[in-house]
Homo-oligomer: A and B are copies of this chain.
Amino acid sequence: MSSVPTETAHKVLAEALGRLVLVKLRQGKTLRGKLKSFDMHLNIVLDDAEEEMEDGSWRRLGTVLIRGENVVMLSPIQ
Contacts and interface: CB of A to CB of B under 8 A. Distances in A.
B1 A14 contact: yes
A4 B26 contact: no
| Chain copies in complex | 7
Contacts of A66: 72-73
B73 A8 contact: no
* Interface size grouping (class) on chain A: 35 or more
A47 B58 CA distance: 26
Contacts of A28: 27
Contact of A76 (B4, B19, B29, B62): B62
Interface of A: 1-2, 4, 6-9, 12-15, 17-19, 22, 25-29, 31, 36-37, 39, 42-45, 47, 49, 61-78
